[in-house]
Structure formats: C-alpha cells, structure tokens
Structure 1
Amino acid sequence: MSEHGLRGAIFDVDGVLVDSPHEHAWRESLRDLMLGEWAPIRDRSSWSEDAFTPVVYQEVMSGRPRMEGAGAALRYFGIPDDDEHLHTYADRKQDLLIRLIDDGRFRAYPDALRFVLAMRAAGVPLAAASSSKNAFRFLRAVRMDVFARDEGLDTASIDEGATLSDMFDADLSGRDFARGKPDPEIFVTAAAELGVQAEACVVVEDAVSGIEAAEAGHMLSIGVARADDEVGLAEAGADLVVTSLDQVDIARLVRGEPVLRRPETDLA
C-alpha cells in the first residue's frame, strides 16, 4: 500500500454490487438441457437437480468468463465439454440471463451502493472490473439518483438520471483478457486505467478467484461473503472479510487500513 494511502478501488459486479440472476440462469439452463436434449447423457453424469448448489456455483463458476464458466460446470458434472456442448450451454444461459435482466429479475445491494457513494465522496477513483459481458446491463439499470434520495443521502454530486455506471471512472467489465481470474490482469489493467499503482488499490470481490487475483496483483482485498463463504474468502487471502460493506471503516480504509467498523458497544 502506498504511503499516501488508498489511491483506487476496483469492484467486481455480480455478487458485490448486484444480486444478479447469473446463478439462476446457469442452473436453470443446464436443468433444461439435462431434462431435454441432453437426456441421453444424463445418467452418465453426476448432475441432478439438487446437485447444482449455490456452493457449486461459487466455487466452480463464479467470477469466470462465460465460456470458462460453462466449461468448468460441464467438467464438474462429468458432461463432455466439447465445442458443441460448451457453446450450447453458454448460449442457452446467455439467452435466459438477458430475459431475466430485461424483466428486472435482479436487485442492487444497498450496502454496496452506500459504499460506492462513500468512496466517491472520499475522492477515491473507482473502477468496475467484472468478467461478465453482461455487467454493463446491470450498472446502467441502477438509478443512483433515486437510491440516494430514497436513502436520504446528499444528492448534490449526483446528476438527475445518473446510473451506477456513472459512478465509475473506468469500466473494464466484459473486456477480453488473455488470462482470466485468478490471474490479476483485469485488476492490474483497471489500476492502470485509473492512473494509479496496483499496490495502492483495494479490490472488492465475492469470489475466491477474484480474491486470489487481487492477492497475485499485490492489492488489498475485501471479500464480501454473501453466500456464507467467509472461510473460503479468508483462506484465499482476503485482507478483510465482511457480510455487508456497511461493516467497513471507510476512513481507515482510505488510509490503507482495511478494518471493520467497531460496534458502538465494543469499547474494549
């Protein structure tokens, strides 16, 4: 961390900023295939309707680009990951995901939106860096002016009609990189586009692969455990693990000290 403190904050999108329907889309599209056109190979796989759990999604697929995620799931369940199966699954999931987004089947996490606004108020440059090519759809669908008014927050610095996308100084989401997470390429590039050193940035992630990427890039990291996966995020090297970004002491984070806010009753 720079002796001058935090110089940039880099955010994953799915699972950190929004509760996206990615997991639902992956699960349901595979279910449709296994109960439909892929039924002949079902008994030769380990797939069942109960086997595709949130833990499987988090540990096997979360944070990966679409084709990598599809391949990881197929291999996990013992389904051939040849080009035909891979593209059929990835395309089926993408079609379902777009329908879910267009139907408004997702929500933004209020703690994350408060955190973004607080970091902006502290003058920290922000970047979005998701592997998902759909991240921009979520960012543009969240009205930050409406959120701030509903929360009773200062709206002086938020333009009418501003979306979550407008809160970021750089957005690398969905960009093609030679190496995906846990390689740090996307985060190191985000720091460069913010004009700051990678070591002076904090990465906010919900996936183990993302925390590992931050660790590899020598960045601070905050693991947001929205799926009861505190242990996995900590073991991956997160400097701080929280279940809500409201728990982060932002003043100390900006100084380069990622620590929890102390409860008012904790006077020790």
Structure 2
Amino acid sequence: MSSIKAFLFDLDGVIVDTAIYHYQAWRRLANELGFDISEEFNEQLKGVSRMESLDIILAHGGLTLPDEKKAELATQKNQWYLELVSRMTSEDILPGVANFFSQVRKANLLTALGSVSKNAPLILERIGMTEAFDAIIDGTKITKGKPDPEVFTKGAAELEVAPAECVVFEDAVAGVEAGKRGGMFVVGLGSPDVLTQADFIALSLDALTVDEVLTRFSN
C-alpha cells in the first residue's frame, strides 16, 4: 500500500461554490435564446466543460447551432460569469476549507488544484488562495474535460508523485469518475446517493479531518 503524498482538489463545490454564478449566466443565455433552465437541470452541468455544458443546454432547448455561433455564445456566457466572480472575496471560501488546508500543511502533504475551469486562477486570486496550491491545473492546461482523468494525472505529474499516492476531493459525478480513472483514492463531498463511485464520502471539507482521510485510505 502506497503512502499518501498529495491531495488534489476540485474548485467549484469544494473550495468555493460558484455553481450559482454559472447557473445565473447560463440561465441568462438560455432566456435570450427563448427558453429557461432550472436549478435542478443545472446539476447536470457540474464538473462539465463550458462547450459541453452549452451543448447540453442547446439540446434541452431543441436548438442546433453552427460551431461559430456556439463559440460566440460560450464567450458571452463567460463574460457574464466573470462579471459575477470578479466580485468574489475570501468570504466566499466554503466553511472548513481554511482549517482543512492548515491541517494539510501540518501533515506535509502536497496540494494541487484540478479544475476544468479556465477561470480558476482568477477565482483563486480573488479569494486569496493562490499560494495554498503547489500546482494549479486548470482548463488552459488540459485538452480533455472530466470524466477524463487528465486534469488529475497532470496534477500528480506536476507534483512528481504517483497517482496511487494521491487523494482527490470532488463534489461532482464526472470529477469522481475522473479521479478513479486516474488511479487515485477519491473522497466525494456531497450525497452518497449521487457520488456512488467515491471511495469515501463526507458532506464537505468542514466535516472532515486530514487524519480521517489518511486513516480511510490506509484501511
């Protein structure tokens, strides 16, 4: 059994919750196209890349558009989203995150961010957490979105650790699958009914300690 050397974290829903901002921007886009999307529908978009999300939304609205128009819409949605997240501060960090990261540092574990969002560096800067990560893998560094494991395997490679020495923290089904496909131990943050592939599930980082994670892994 390998020992754990690194913790890899998704951003949305784990460190901060920007889902509401994504939803507001996507809903505005859908409304301009003549239909609506619900918060329940928005759950399908968690952990999914921007263009894939747009395809899901267009299918929902029964629309087929040329790639050029789709690129234009995705850019517009991102501009609206950036207007919202640019107002974020450290107050937007989810409960328990600061305490958990303090424990991570005391345990001498490496950290990486594994987010498909190209806006991840901006968000980390706004909430003051850029320095909390030894490696940052975002949407600009990958060619495949989750559930492909690339975002996590690249994080492990940048930290110079083996996948089997990594724990992934994810709140989305696609992210949990990505971690498992990457050969990593995955802690799901959320509902056990949803994150069925995770090795271990907790409500949030606030409900976890580093020792508990390491104990679960060694078992």
* TM-score of the pair, normalised by structure 2: 0.89
Matches within 5 A, 1:122-137: 122-137=107-122
The alpha carbon displacement at 1:196 in A equals 0.6
2:110 corresponds to which letter in structure 1? P
1:30 aligns with 2:14: no
1:97 aligns with 2:57: no
1:214 corresponds to which letter in structure 2? G
Q: What is the rounded CA distance, in whole Å, between the counterparts of 2:133 and 2:122 in structure 1?
A: 14
**Alignment equivalent of 1:15, drawn from 13, 16, 24:** 13
The alpha carbon displacement at 1:84 in A equals 3.9
1:184 aligns with 2:146: no
1:110 aligns with 2:70: no
Identity of aligned residues (%): 32
2:8 corresponds to which letter in structure 1? I
3-state secondary structure, aligned to 2:167: strand
Aligned to 2:56: 72
Aligned to 1:194: 159
1:233 aligns with 2:195: yes
Q: What is the rounded CA distance, in whole Å, between the counterparts of 1:258 and 1:70 in structure 2?
A: 41
3-state secondary structure, aligned to 2:13: coil
**Alignment equivalent of 2:213, drawn from 244, 253, 263:** 253
Distance 1:201 1:256, change over 3 A: farther
Q: Is the 8 A contact 1:252 1:258 kept in 2?
A: no
1:120 aligns with 2:137: no
**1:134-171 Cα distance to aligned partner (Å, 9 max, x none):** 111111111xxxxxxxxxxxxxxxxxxxx211010000
Q: Is the 8 A contact 2:86 2:126 kept in 1?
A: no
Q: What is the rounded CA distance, in whole Å, between the counterparts of 1:98 and 1:206 in structure 2?
A: 22
Q: What is the rounded CA distance, in whole Å, between the counterparts of 1:88 and 1:175 in structure 2?
A: 18
Distance 1:210 1:67, change over 3 A: same
Q: What is the rounded CA distance, in whole Å, between the counterparts of 1:83 and 1:248 in structure 2?
A: 43
Q: What is the rounded CA distance, in whole Å, between the counterparts of 2:207 and 2:113 in structure 1?
A: 21
2:5 corresponds to which letter in structure 1? R
Matches within 5 A, 1:49-68: 49=36, 52-59=37-44, 61-68=45-52
2:47 corresponds to which letter in structure 1? G
Structure 1 stretches of 4+ moved >4 Å: none
Q: What is the rounded CA distance, in whole Å, between the counterparts of 1:76 and 1:214 in structure 2?
A: 28
* TM-score of the pair, normalised by structure 1: 0.74
Q: What is the rounded CA distance, in whole Å, between the counterparts of 2:164 and 2:38 in structure 1?
A: 35
Distance 1:127 1:88, change over 3 A: same
Runs (5+) with no aligned partner, structure 1: 40-46, 143-162, 260-268
The alpha carbon displacement at 1:82 in A equals 2.5
Q: Is the 8 A contact 2:88 2:123 kept in 1?
A: no
Number of residue pairs matched?
216
Q: What is the rounded CA distance, in whole Å, between the counterparts of 1:81 and 1:211 in structure 2?
A: 31
Aligned to 1:244: 204
1:130 corresponds to which letter in structure 2? S
Runs (5+) with no aligned partner, structure 2: none
3-state secondary structure, aligned to 2:193: helix
Q: What is the rounded CA distance, in whole Å, between the counterparts of 1:77 and 1:256 in structure 2?
A: 44
1:218 corresponds to which letter in structure 2? G
